[in-house]
Amino acid sequence: MKKTVMAGGFSSALFGAGTFTTDAIESYWIWIALFSLALIGISILYVSSKQMAKIQRLHREMLEKQLEMEKNQNELLTNMSENIHTIALKALEKNSHAAQENSKPYQSKEEVLDNVENRLLSVTNDLIDFLRLKSKKITISNDEFNINNVLNEVAGSICSQYAGRNTELIFDINHNVPRKIIGDSLHLGQILNSVLEHIMDNFHASEVKLEISMFNTFDNNIELQFKFTDTGEGMDSIALENLLTPYYNEENGVYVGLGIFVANELISMMGGEFSVQSMVGKGSTYTLTLPFEISDLQNKRMYRLPEKIFTVKKVFIADDNYNAALAMKKMFAYFKHEVKVVTKEEFLRNIPNLTPYDIIVLSESLFTPRLVEYLNKIKLGKELKVIALNNLMYSNQNSFVDEVIDVHLFKPLNQERIFELIIDLYHIKLPSAFSREKEKDMPQVRTYKSHIHATKNVTQDHFREFSGKHILIVEDNLINQKVLINLLHHSDINISVANNGQEAVDLIKESKIDFDLVLMDINMPIMDGYTATQMIRLDSKFDMLPIIAFTALVLESEIQKMFNSGINAFLAKPLNIGKLYTALAMYLSEKTIESVVETTPSEGTENRSYAHYEGLNVEKGIRHANNSEALYIEILKEFDNAYGESDKVFEKLVAEHRYEQIRMLCVDMRGLTGAIGAEDMHLLINEIHQRLIYNKKELLPNYIEKFTFEINTLRRAIRNFIEKH
């Protein structure tokens, strides 16, 4: 029996009066529920569509930002290699004319040619760094090192590279900057060198000052601030904005911003920051901050004179550059010396009374017969130390020589060099863990204190003379290691490598290998070359082991310090194959070298013929690598690592219609393929680039197969060449 109910109230109003079955009521609520669900579903769909549209919009914006960032990054990277090929040609052209056009009488023909080749070598090294950045192979190390060694090496490199430039380079170092810190010394030196090269290349500054300050941070870490200021013409807002976008100046034949871009990338990798301020006519300020750790928190004074009598000296300074004199005053004041500084003009107007002073530091240009006579009279009545100041960058080879001068000191200076100066001036004996008594008749390996000259016409094959010998290369720079190994390994010379001084000491003392010779870098982390050599010399059984310094440190005081440590000969970087052969022959040759002729640095590759490699013009590539086969091999290896899979990248970009990225890849590889002598790949890249320029994008898929063929052909040529050399 069906139940009935009376409809009333709300139901009556809605349906009218009457009776309804329970089925009707249930049906009614079902429709209500379905209607509600439909409304909810529609609402959900509406909200979802809105959310989806928002997500799609955000995704689109993120993709656009990502593409824009990729575009900007690629522009920076590709612009750097855009004209590598042209740079090499320009440098080679300058090489052939440099000696004839030399207008600097104090530079020999060989020195001029050295400088030109070093500029090309600098470009080549930047190319390798660029390739290593592209393939993400650069890593940041964290080891203890002496910051003074880094500064000395940078000073030697810059002053050698820009010899004759009338620029005063000043190091102004605050007292709290520690002697030893923990970080990446190799890349720090590269950064400082690159910033200074940028300033020297692009601005005619009479003075460049590097001011170093320290700030404490958390967890016993520190932050070092390196502030470069120059007195050049400065930059306008456009030049400042484009500073980190490398470009080639066709008018002047100068590549602008190559090194400083790499430096900026390294600063970021090391967790630092880089900023530049400039004003036209007022010069520029480059500020970089880098985090480091302190190795010895307890040692607040890193440079200690053993007795109070050697402190509180009275020092008088008069220099050509007043700012350099003030920086020097700070370094002497560290030892509680009382320092008086006057300008050159003030000194020349009226020579002051110098009798009260213990140390007199004067620019070499101030010495006259009258002044020498005056200083000699003072020396008759008291102990007086006289120092002649020279500028490492433009010092005159015909230095003023007189017995009144105790020391010739070369700027720029740092705290450790002033410390060592005082030690030498007063013949102070410091406690040392490295001294040992040598027996009178104990045989010693011969020491050559004169500069090593280059043997003529040396090629890689000449090193076969040292076949079977065992050489230890002590070097923290991976590229330098590889260049030396590639140069020597075909000569059947046994080669071992140590990455720092501590590894070298352990290898020599604990290994069963009897080394015939050690090539020792000086500026290294963990243990430098000075200390490593002293540690080796502690054991008398290594007295006959020749140790040759191979370093960029070039100051006479630094070289003398090497000899005092136990070094037997000095070989300056960058590598010169003729000089390296001479150095090895002095200790490893069966025959005596009676006469070594100095000549233009030569890698011996100019007249050498190579086998044909399809897709690779080896002779051309080697010319662009500073005529160094070993350096060329390293460039090829890095190119293979960075671009060996570029065919897959190209195919993917074409499929995704990412034409801007294809253009960037073309611009990138165009300069690089030209630099390494990959002529067929170079022509193909140019052809693809032309299709983009003339908006023929629909033709790009036709190049996928060609691209794959050429890059694989080039890779085979690269690998075949490397295997045979």
The 3-class SS string of 56-86 reads HHHHHHHHHHHHHHHHHHHHHHHHHHCCHHH
- Residue 530, domain CATH: 3.40.50.2300
pLDDT of residue 60: 61
- What is the pTM for the complete model shown? 0.72
Rounded to whole angstroms, the Cα distance separating 305 from 226 reads 28
CATH code (residue 380)? 3.40.50
Distance in angstroms (rounded) separating the CA atoms of residues 389 and 2: 122
- 595 is a domain residue: no
The tally of domains found in the chain comes to 5
Does residue 65 belong to any structural domain of this protein?
yes
pLDDT for 694: 83
Residue 676 in tokens = 């390494």
Which of 548, 570, 588 is the last residue in one of the domains?
A: 588
Question: What's residue 241's pLDDT?
Answer: 86
CB 222, CB 214: distance < 8 Å? yes
| Token pair recorded at residue 410 | 């070369």
| pLDDT beneath 70, residues of the chain | 1-24, 26, 28, 41, 45-127, 130, 219, 246-256, 297-301, 395-399, 431-443, 591-608, 624, 626, 667-668, 671
pLDDT tens-digit map of 271-312: 999 999 999 988 999 999 999 998 776 665 678 887 777 778
Q: 287: which DSSP letter? A: E
What is the structure's pLDDT at 148? 94
Q: Which helix (H) or strand (E) holds 638?
A: helix 629-643
What's residue 395's pLDDT?
Answer: 64
Parent domain of 540:
460-588
Same domain, 570 and 480: yes
C-alpha dihedral sign at 327, 332, 334, 336 = negative
Shared domain check, 392 and 414: yes
Of the residues 369, 399, 425, the one at which a domain ends: 425
Distances (CA, A) of 586 to 253, 568, 691: 41, 11, 59
Based on the fold, state whether residues 234 and 135 are members of the same structural domain.
Answer: yes
Spell out the residues 6+ positions from residue 315 whose beta carbon is closer than 8 angstroms to its own. Answer: 329, 332, 337, 338, 339, 340, 357, 358, 359, 360, 361
39 found inside a domain: yes
For residue 117, give the H/E element and its range. Answer: helix 109-134
| Residues 524 and 661 grouped into a single domain | no
Q: Which two tokens stand for residue 395?
A: 């010092």
Same domain, 140 and 233: yes
Q: Are residues 342 and 260 in the same domain?
A: no
Contact 247, 318 (CB under 8 A): no
* Structure tokens belonging to residue 677: 């002598």
What phi and psi, each to the nearest 5 degrees, are found at residue 625?
A: -100, 40
CATH number assigned to the domain comprising residue 215:
3.30.565.10
Strands 221-230 and 283-294, how do they pair?
Answer: antiparallel
Verify that 580 and 465 share a domain, yes or no. yes
Task: Report residue 603: phi and psi, to 5°.
Answer: -90, -5
Strand order in the sheet with 314-319: 338-343, 314-319, 359-363, 385-391, 407-411
- The answer to the question of residue 471 being in a domain is yes
Domain C-terminal end among 403, 425, 447: 425
Residue whose pair of structure tokens reads 């009545």 in the numeric block: 381
- CA-based Rg of the chain, rounded to a whole angstrom? 34
Please report the DSSP string for 158-221 in residue order. HHHHTTT---EEEEEE-TTS-SEEEE-HHHHHHHHHHHHHHHHHH---SEEEEEEEEEE-STTE
C-alpha closest to that of 568 among 593, 586, 555: 586
pLDDT of residue 306: 74
**Integer Cα distance of 632 and 622 in angstroms:** 6
User: Which two three-digit tokens encode residue 526?
Assistant: 């963990």
Q: State whether 487 and 553 are in the same domain.
A: yes
- From the centroid of its chain, how far is CA 362? 34
Contact 167, 200 (CB under 8 A): yes
Residues 6+ apart with CB under 8 A from 185: 143, 145, 147, 149, 150, 476, 523, 524, 525
Considering the domain architecture, whether residues 48 and 84 belong to the same structural domain is answered as: no
Whether 455 is in a domain gets the answer no
537 and 505 in one domain?
yes
Residue 310 lies in a domain: no
Residue 233 in any domain: the answer is yes
Specify whether 503 is located in the same domain as 378: no
Question: Is 442 domain-assigned?
Answer: no
CB atoms inside a 10 Å sphere around CB 324: 24
507 and 419 in a common domain: no
In angstroms, rounded to a whole number, what is the distance separating the alpha carbons of residues 671 and 689? Answer: 12
What's the pLDDT at 301?
63
